[in-house]
Amino acid sequence: MIETELGTLRRSHYSDEINSSMDGTQVTVMGWVLTVRGHGNISFATIRDKNGDVSVVAKKGDCPDDIREKISYLKAHSSIAITGNVKSSEKAPSGYEIVPTELRVFSEVEKIPPFEPIAKTVKNIDTRLEVRPIDLRRKVLQHIFNTRSLVLKSIRSYFNDQNFVEINTPKMIATATEGGAALFPIFYYNKEAFLAQSPQLYKEQLTMSFEKVFEIAPIFRAEPSRTNRHLAEAISIDLEEAFIDYNDVMSRIEEIIKISIKTVTDYAKDNPDAEFTIPEIPETIPQYSYDDLVDKMQKAGAKTEWGDDLYPSNLKKIGLEGFYFIKDWPLAPKPFYVKDSKANPKISESFDLMFGDLELSSGSTRIEKRNELAERMKNKGMNTDAFEYHLGAFDYGVPPHAGCGIGLERLIMALTGTENIRDVTFYPRDVDRLTP
């Protein structure tokens, strides 16, 4: 029997729930056609669902002729359901195959995609992104995004275990939090507003109420960068905690990285075809001061001066690899809320977490006194009146606090060895792409 509507039919098993010991058991599987081969009186098909692949063998005499014939004409990516009997088979990749007795074709392919669903690599990433839902059926990307989901789950579990409160902060804001050069302006009723560059000011305020908070949400940066590591919309893992400083935040990040690596390692063990390059992590992530690295760069012949940014090309010259922190950055270029070092007012209590030359996280101890914060704003030419909604909170006992943001996409790049940030993003947004 061949039908086209779901009706009351429902899946009985996912691909990974079936095995050769179920010989003779009737099952219903649903998914997308991966491959089809026809050889006269026998048709072979592979069906892919969210958990893996199922082999289907329609042989004359074993299944209805109309089903065997229909299967032989199906195109890759067609959405179908098959009800049939499990048959153990040493030739099948999973040790079993399904002999169909019923077929439902929910949607047949009308347009052939520009690449095969079994393709391991496709040279032109723009070609893939134009048909992203199809691209994401490829196994190599399925592994990346399944891992991404598990890493997020493990990080949330860490925060919950550590008694953090998950928060949600506004993404439409009235003022810049990280400086005005990389803002997306929007029209908000009858006034100008902006997409949030970070939840910074709100998460600081919320330490007054909850002490330990975290948020996993989008941030927006209007940086006109065309690289394999920049996005206009990214997911940031933000944490903020009261009664600590930046050293404590670095310790928390170290714990998060270790948990994340374990999650990816466990996934790779269960899925040996996931060809990840998983980094190693030492017992303690090394910490280098900004001063130390500038000195190393100068000795290596790099043209850099104290106060300059530490560009990736210069970091490569001194051979830093794996995870490491760069701490105690110059205060001047840092955002207005970053606290200065009492030992040297030109230095900030701040850090970046690096993986090779890739920045994964940035954090700092924050200013907790209103007069200091207002003075810093004025020194940066900011209008303190526009930030009164934030400054006013500092009249009511803001605790010492510190925090950071971790870029999820860049973290997944580091954990899996993925080179292009678009391959760890469901629907990338950058300077050239606003669709699909």
Whether 128 has a binding-site annotation, put simply, is no
Whether 211 has a binding-site annotation, put simply, is no
Residue partners of 323: CB distance under 8 A and separation at least 6? 257, 279, 281, 285, 286, 353, 354, 355, 360, 414
Whether 55 has a binding-site annotation, put simply, is no
Whether 132 has a binding-site annotation, put simply, is no
Selection from 430, 386, 2 nearest residue 220 by Cα: 430
Whether 222 has a binding-site annotation, put simply, is yes
Q: What's the gap between Cα 408 and its chain centre?
A: 4
Whether 215 has a binding-site annotation, put simply, is no
Whether 152 has a binding-site annotation, put simply, is no
Q: Which residues pair with 59 in a beta bridge?
A: 42
Whether 34 has a binding-site annotation, put simply, is no
Long-range contacts (CB closer than 8 Å, 24 or more residues apart) made by 421-428? 421/228, 421/229, 421/230, 421/231, 422/125, 422/129, 422/228, 422/231, 423/125, 423/141, 423/144, 424/144, 424/145, 424/148, 425/231, 425/234, 426/132, 426/136, 426/145, 427/132, 428/129, 428/231
Q: Which residues pair with 166 in a beta bridge?
A: 214
Whether 388 has a binding-site annotation, put simply, is no
Largest CA distance in the chain: 86
Q: Please give the Cα distance from 313 to 307 (Å, whole number).
A: 16
Long-range contacts (CB closer than 8 Å, 24 or more residues apart) made by 34-43? 34/76, 34/117, 34/118, 35/76, 35/118, 36/71, 36/72, 36/74, 36/75, 36/76, 38/71, 38/72, 41/68, 42/68, 43/68, 43/69, 43/71, 43/72
Whether 320 has a binding-site annotation, put simply, is no
Whether 407 has a binding-site annotation, put simply, is yes
Q: Quick count: other Cβ atoms within 10 Å of Cβ 39?
A: 9
Whether 231 has a binding-site annotation, put simply, is yes
Whether 359 has a binding-site annotation, put simply, is yes
Q: Please give the Cα distance from 117 to 126 (Å, whole number).
A: 16
Whether 408 has a binding-site annotation, put simply, is yes
Annotated binding site: 178, 221-223, 229-231, 359, 362, 366, 407-410
Annotated binding site for Mg(2+): 359, 362
Annotated binding site for ATP: 221-223, 229-231, 359, 407-410
Annotated binding site for L-aspartate: 178, 221, 362, 366
